[in-house]
Structure 1
Amino acid sequence: MPVETESVQELITSARFVVFDFDGPICRLFAQYTAQRVAGELVEWLALHGLRELLTDEERRHPDPWLLLRAVDQRHPDSDLVAELEEWLTRHELKAVPTAWPTAYADPLIRTWSAVGVRLAIATNNSALAVRRYLDSRDLLACFAPNIYGRTQDLGLLKPHPHSLNRALNALGAAPSAALMIGDTPADLIASREAGVPFLGYATNVEKADLLRSTGATAVVSSLWPLLRVLRGQM
């Protein structure tokens, strides 16, 4: 058995608490209503309000609306502008929920983990309201509720800050070493490292996998099927 396969199996079998990132490991939120489109609309919104120069040229071309939101927050922290943009992004996330694509094997993995008594939570930079609406649409909300920790208006607490992950651990009553974080970005990995939680990376392509490994991930999977197979072997 390859070393990384052994590492994944050990992470799964030793976890008593599992904290998921949302967009990526559970679903692709902006599958049809794309994140790049949302980022472009955010740039247009700023331009219409005479605030185009709040972003650099590079930022205005960036396809990540959360990066743009944080950029504005860094220049105008705790402002009414940031609060309005955060609410704007939440509305767009809610708009994207009906067309989100479930990550392959995520639904049965979540149900199986819950069925074997592992307690689950979500720590995400997305709106908790959008997360709850998506989970409810998949009949998965009961597997997590009430342990869903999303974006707050203090954008300095977004991952890679471990705030949402620590909130999840505290609510679960979980020792960090008994938990597992599943995420798909370096920010997820850094947050888990800061919180002292073992990390399992999920990457849909070689570039994302290499990025996670270059950030320090030692276990990365391209599918959730191996996780489900390990769990079913324990039942």
Structure 2
Amino acid sequence: MTSDTTQTGAVTPSTEGLRELLAPVRYVLWDLDGPICRLFAGHPANGVARALVKEIERLGLDELLSEEERFDPDPQAVLLLIDQRHADSAPIARLEQWLTEQELTAVPRALPTPYADPLIRTWSALGARFAITTNNSARAAAAYMESRQLTGCFPHIYGRTEDLARMKPHPHCLSRALESLGAHPSQALMLGDAGTDYQAARKLGVPFLGYARNRRKLGLLTAAGVDPSHIVGSLEDVLKALKGTP
């Protein structure tokens, strides 16, 4: 959820290898923030994280965070730390709802990932069925899909709930998506930009395609164990593979 716009440049798997990965895919599980859009492009995540810390202070829970953790630029990471260290679920539910409202505020200024919209429409037209499996709020994901007139492509959206322990890398949202789609893992593909996406997919035996828009994302994916041949730096590569163009 942090910002880093340095391009990867060299992340270009072979077209043939990409086509082999995509050939059996009938169902695609999409992460939202990354492969589909930059959700916090106009409502920066680091500012949301700072505001979340203030909300935590108002609830008297700030002693649960170290000085370094108070400046974590990822609001989801901050929320998870509080959840892991505080037994009472009531304030966690309030903080989760607060973050959901921030994500909804971010939607109108979110930026679509380059080639995401045409890739979604093309893949759908070719018969693939989709679900969103995200650690963001399902409400925010649905609002973004509506803003891009893509609601019909995503009848199944699974996101963060008040039970934060079920966020990825827990495979809960992926499992629900597979069940709703009636999909066997071998016919599905998880398209994500984080190690947690890969870990959740791996637990269910779902093949994975990583999207790394910059060197930092590439490094995080490879550090998580993703095969570099299963990482793209641009969704244009996926679109070309689907269309059969070089």
Q: Same fold (TM over 0.5)?
A: yes
Q: Name the CA shift for 1:27/1:3 in 2 (closer, same or farther; >3 Å).
A: closer
Answering whether residue 208 of structure 2 is matched by residue 199 of structure 1, we say yes
Structure 2 matches for 1:1-235, cutoff 5 A? 4-77=14-87, 79-145=89-155, 147-218=156-227, 219-233=230-244
Q: How far apart, in 2, do the equivalents of 1:172 and 1:78 lie? A: 35
Which structure has more relative contact order (CA 8 Å, sep 6+)? It is: 2
- Listed one character per residue, the Cα deviations across residues 31-90 of structure 1 (whole Å, up to 9, x for unaligned) are 011110000001112223332212122211100100111111111245110000000000
| TM-score in terms of structure 1 length | 0.95
Structure 1 consecutive aligned stretches of length 4 or more whose deviation exceeds 6 Å: none
Q: How far apart, in 2, do the equivalents of 1:169 and 1:76 lie? A: 32
- SS across alignment from 1:123: strand
More displaced, 6-15 or 92-101? 6-15
| TM-score in terms of structure 2 length | 0.91
Cα contact 2:190–2:206 (8 A) shared by 1: yes
Cα contact 2:59–2:91 (8 A) shared by 1: no
Q: How far apart, in 2, do the equivalents of 1:233 and 1:4 lie? A: 13
Task: Report how many aligned residue pairs link the two structures.
Answer: 232
Amino acid at match of 2:232: V
Q: How far apart, in 2, do the equivalents of 1:206 and 1:174 lie? A: 33
What RMSD, in angstroms, separates the aligned Cα atoms of the two structures?
Answer: 1.4
- Listed one character per residue, the Cα deviations across residues 83-137 of structure 1 (whole Å, up to 9, x for unaligned) are 0000000000000000000000000100111111111111000000110010001
Which has the larger share of helix? 1
5+ residue gaps, structure 2, are 1-11
Amino acid at match of 1:152: T
Q: How far apart, in 2, do the equivalents of 1:117 and 1:195 lie? A: 23
- Listed one character per residue, the Cα deviations across residues 118-164 of structure 1 (whole Å, up to 9, x for unaligned) are 1111100000011001000101010011x110011110000000000
